[in-house]
Chains A and B, each alone.
Chain A
Amino acid sequence: MMKKRIFSIFVFAAFLIGGFIYLDKIYRTKERYVNTFEDFKSLAEKTSIDIVFYGSSMSHTAYNPLVINHFTKAISYNLGSDALRIPVSELIFKKSLEYTKPKLIIIEVHESSIKYPKDDNIKGLQLEVLDFVSNTDFDKIKFVKQNYDNNNFLSTMFPLIRNHTKWYDFNLFDFDKRKKVNTSRYFYFGGHYGLVNPIDEVKYYQYVDFENTPIKNNNEKELFTNKEKKNFIKFIERAKNLNIEVIVVTSPYLLARFNNNYFFDSIKKISDSLNVNYINLNNYYKDIGIKIDDFSDRYHLSEKGSIKTSKFLANYINRNYLLEDRSLEDHWKNIDQVYETFIANYGEIANQFFKKKLNFNLTENISIENVKIVKNRNKKDFSIKLNYPDDIKNKLSNYKMGVYVYPKKSDLKKVDAKRRESSRNHDQADVQLKDNMDVVNFRINTRIDNIKEIKLFLYNAKNYNGMIGNPLIINDITFN
């Protein structure tokens, strides 16, 4: 009887534990970091990794392992993740040591990354990485207890509890939690998620003078608490105790000079006290060759900017650190082949664009100030800045904008097949204007690259009765 009971308890426990492990895996959401960490493990199984990047999205967008590898002749990987805070970066550093011990780690820091997460959205983003850290890790438990509600403790620790409300979204047989990379937005390699699109029109003009903006220094307060400072120091010391070199880096970002800068000085002081190098790349715009188009938004470089920055950092590493030359190894060669293909296709990734200032009157009241067109493989992203008096603000929705794209002879066959069938020799889009709209942003799916002419005009949104006012014709469009 006793044996039967023990057996039945054992069977039940097995079902319960097995069930939990299975369901906890199934109920994980598809996240980019799954791609990052799985590929990291896969690489670490094949070869040692010399350089690993840690930090937030300002790490994983800025530093491309393809470029780093090519110029340092080492093997690198980027373990950065969106909005990642220093304590969580340290946790994933600890975890990554189970797979490989790098020679050099590069910790990306900025004002927010040092601080504890306050916002629910930011707290949620930490979980993408925390899910890879064991629930028995005391530092993880401590971090969760400090930063998340007690009521949410279990949901923070276990994806099954966290995601159970979306039970209908999960396939009980789907263990693949890799997130499909949207290649029209990202270039992915080795944990690096390069942002393919350049900065939008509004921000472009807002920050175009970013290099010349004087640094603000009007706040003497330190931007982080003692506890937050200790976390940062602890991370560096952990690496140093393992004889791993450390570079602390701040990636280029547009707001660097618009925000208070005692932060950078504080980081420098701490780094110096720990005898590690700190490089604030916002002091090297000219050396890197960073321009406004090298940014994708206020905080992140575009892929174009990432290539320049990665190259600059690789050269910095070469000057200051002695890393093994692995260029004769097969793994390095295989990765470098990808680099060659990447650079060869750079034109597609670099987001060539066309820009023109105009001040053209479409109607008596509505004029176009400038037009920008970004070439994005088979898509053309338009940004058209409008000008109009205040009394027209709430009447814009009465209009639609017709956009015709005429190809040069060489690209006639690239016109959309259905249009060619109906004897039209252009691709087009119809864009509904909205009240109070300053900039009209839209996308045309067109394979036409060699554009002879673009025609822009307005018409009545409710009924097409021919164009209203004057059409804007732009000729000889060349993408830079």
Chain B
Amino acid sequence: MLFNSIDFAIFFPIFFAIYWIVAKKLTVRNAFLLTSSYLFYGWWDWRFLFLILFSSIVDFTIGQKIYNATNKRVRKNYLVVSLLINLGLLGYFKYFNFFIDSFIHSFRFFGAEIDSFTLHIILPVGISFYTFQTLSYTIDIYRERLKPTKDWLSFFTFVAFFPQLVAGPIERASHLLPQFFKTYKFNYNALKSGLLLMAFGLFKKMVLADRLAIVVNEVYNNPTGHSGQDLIIATVFFAFQIYCDFSGYSDIAIGLSRTLGFNLMKNFETPYFSTSITEFWRRWHISLSTWFRDYVYIPLGGSRNGEYRTYFNLFLVFVVSGLWHGAAVTFIIWGAIHGIIIVVEKALSKTPLHINRNKLFPKIIFTAFTFSIVCFAWIFFRANTFADSLYIVKNLFNFNFEKWSLYNLGLPSHEFDFAIIVIILLLLFDAFHRKYNALKVMNKSNVIVQSLVYTIIVYSIVIFGIYGDNSVSEFIYFQF
């Protein structure tokens, strides 16, 4: 079920009403949440439910086993089982065909031919997200940072919690799981701010992301048919498309949880105002980058084993992060680019070449420079094939203005101009929010102003939103 769908528009009010009726009784509430979450998830494909149920049972059981085991080796073995099962499932559903293809291609490179076979495997929605979420549970228990719960209902609900199940934020068990052990009273302010956040998320997704997607799809589905300026425009548009799509989803997830009394972690913090790639990753998909930091980078040694090992660890983490995003070479390259830049920044930070980026002029330059690098990397993220990505990179500056128009990229002039205006407004809003916290400012204004602003947001979505018979409706990160 998509958040921007009629099905959800019908589901949510009914769910919300019943939720607050049963909210006072913990078991009943969690049971209702779990059922609703399974209903939400099963809406895509009921077969997916077996997988999430299996994952929940495995990690719930293994969590207990790890905690109860006194022998360190036994604890480690249980952890390895959890890792193997979770990553095995992820590997099978997401990477099986990719590895087979890569294996066959590498044999072909040496002149040998192997019959190719790929399986028709449906990728369960959100598997990358909930797998990491449950792994954080077993890993934290192993590290003795968390005690396992005996309350299977709370645990299963934590795994399947529908607001963040399919596209994050990837919550830590230590942060989210305890919230299922408490009941919450209805809070009007939480409802208000939650609904506002949901509306804002829908605005970003439906008004901007889906609109920009039209241009991005037009160019990226046929890069050879477009000149350099088109490729640049589409790439920049993609940067905003993926930001609005993904942060929009996160806003909806966080806002929705807030209306229910739950608190999810922030996932985006105005990332395109970053002055370095290092800073970018502190602001972009925060839940994933911190997960990789805590569960991959630090176990690899982090920065504890010397400079070069640190660089290697950083690079590897980003390559793996790329692979997490998708089973294709282009995602690995995307991750590698970020990895290389991060390593370079880390190396430069220790040299006299390091510049103070807090002053206005360097800030602007470095923000623009960082944005350009991020956009460059997005080429690999978005391109349909490796060949396409190479073509785009080679032809980025191959301009041709003969019989060219900005308005031949899939969007008519008024729509294109509107998209540009909204991008500018979004950047201004992000800049404002970065400094002043827009929600606090809103809450201080009078009732009429607040109501007017909320009404404008709602009707902006209704009027300017891309919905109906439209292929761009699904959130980008669902494919992960």
Binding site for B on A (CB under 8 A): 4-5, 7-8, 11-12, 14-16, 19-20, 23, 27, 150-155, 160-161, 164-165, 167-168
Contacts and interface: CB of A to CB of B under 8 A. Distances in A.
* Most chain B CB neighbours (cut-off 10 Å) among A4, A5, A12, A155: A12
Interface string B440-457: 000000011011101100
15 contacts: A4-B447, A7-B447, A8-B450, A15-B455, A16-B458, A19-B459, A23-B459, A23-B462, A27-B463, A154-B6, A160-B462, A160-B463, A161-B462, A164-B465, A168-B414
Given A23-B459, A160-B462, A161-B462, A8 B451 contact: yes
Nearest to A154: B6
B288 to A, nearest CB: 33
Contact of B469 (A7, A151, A161): A151
Contacts of A168: 414
Contacts of A19: 455, 458-459
A27 B459 CA distance: 12
A11 B459 contact: no
B464 interface: yes
Contacts of B469: 151-152
Nearest to B414: A168
Interface string B457-480: 011001111001100000000000
Given A8-B447, A11-B447, A164 B454 contact: no
Contacts of B447: 4, 7-8, 11
A19 B457 CA distance: 12
A152 B468 contact: yes
Contacts of A153: 6
B448 A11 contact: yes
Interface in B113-148: none
B303 to A, nearest CB: 51
Contact of B6 (A15, A151, A167): A151
B468 A165 contact: yes
Interface of B: 6, 188, 414, 447-448, 450-452, 454-455, 458-459, 462-465, 468-469
A5 B463 contact: no
Given A151-B6, A165-B468, A11 B462 contact: no
B34 to A, nearest CB: 28
A15 B454 CA distance: 9
A23 B463 contact: yes
Nearest to A153: B6
A8 B454 CA distance: 12
Contacts of B464: 164, 167
A7 B464 CA distance: 29
Contacts of A15: 451-452, 454-455
Given A23-B459, A165-B468, 6 more contacts: A16-B455, A27-B463, A151-B469, A152-B468, A152-B469, A153-B6
Nearest to B448: A11
Nearest to B447: A8
Contacts of B450: 8, 12
A340 B425 CA distance: 61
A155 B448 CA distance: 30
**Chain B residues touching A, majority SS:** helix
Contacts of A160: 462-463
Contact of B463 (A12, A154, A167): A167
A155 to B, nearest CB: 6
Contacts of B465: 164
A160 B462 CA distance: 8
Contact of A11 (B451, B458, B463): B451
Contacts of A16: 455, 458
B451 A155 contact: no
Contacts of B463: 23, 27, 160, 164, 167
Nearest to B192: A8
Nearest to A167: B463
Nearest to B468: A155
A151 B450 CA distance: 32
Contact of B451 (A4, A12, A165): A12
B50 to A, nearest CB: 28
A23 B455 CA distance: 12
Nearest to A163: B463
B146 to A, nearest CB: 38
A164 B462 contact: yes
Contacts of A167: 463-464
B205 to A, nearest CB: 16
Contacts of B462: 23, 160-161, 164
Contact of A12 (B6, B454, B468): B454
A5 B188 contact: yes
A236 B450 CA distance: 53
A23 B464 CA distance: 13
A16 B463 CA distance: 14
A12 to B, nearest CB: 4
Contacts of B414: 168
Nearest to A8: B447
A151 B7 CA distance: 10
A395 B455 CA distance: 62
Contacts of A161: 462
A433 to B, nearest CB: 30
Given A8-B447, A23-B463, A160-B463, A151 B452 contact: no
A456 to B, nearest CB: 39
B445 to A, nearest CB: 11
A150 B447 CA distance: 37
A380 B357 CA distance: 76
Please give me the 4 A-B residue pairs with the lowest Cβ-Cβ distance, nearest first. A15-B455, A12-B451, A168-B414, A8-B447
A19 B468 CA distance: 21
B124 to A, nearest CB: 24
Nearest to B418: A168
Contacts of B448: 11
Nearest to A16: B455
B188 A12 contact: no
B187 to A, nearest CB: 11
Contacts of A151: 6, 468-469
A4 to B, nearest CB: 8
* Most chain A CB neighbours (cut-off 10 Å) among B447, B448, B469: B447
B455 A12 contact: yes
B335 to A, nearest CB: 37
A250 to B, nearest CB: 36
Nearest to A23: B459
A446 to B, nearest CB: 38
A15 B448 CA distance: 9
A12 B464 CA distance: 21
A153 B469 CA distance: 12
Contacts of A4: 447
A109 B474 CA distance: 45
A23 B448 CA distance: 19
B418 to A, nearest CB: 8
B196 to A, nearest CB: 11
Nearest to A7: B447
Contacts of A150: 6
Contacts of A20: 459
B480 to A, nearest CB: 26
A27 B463 CA distance: 9
Contacts of B6: 150-151, 153-154
A155 B6 CA distance: 11
A11 B453 CA distance: 12
B295 to A, nearest CB: 41
A414 to B, nearest CB: 43
A318 B210 CA distance: 62
A16 B6 CA distance: 19
A4 B463 CA distance: 30
A23 B461 CA distance: 13
A145 to B, nearest CB: 13
Nearest to B465: A164
Nearest to A17: B455
A160 B465 CA distance: 12
B204 to A, nearest CB: 18
A168 B455 CA distance: 19
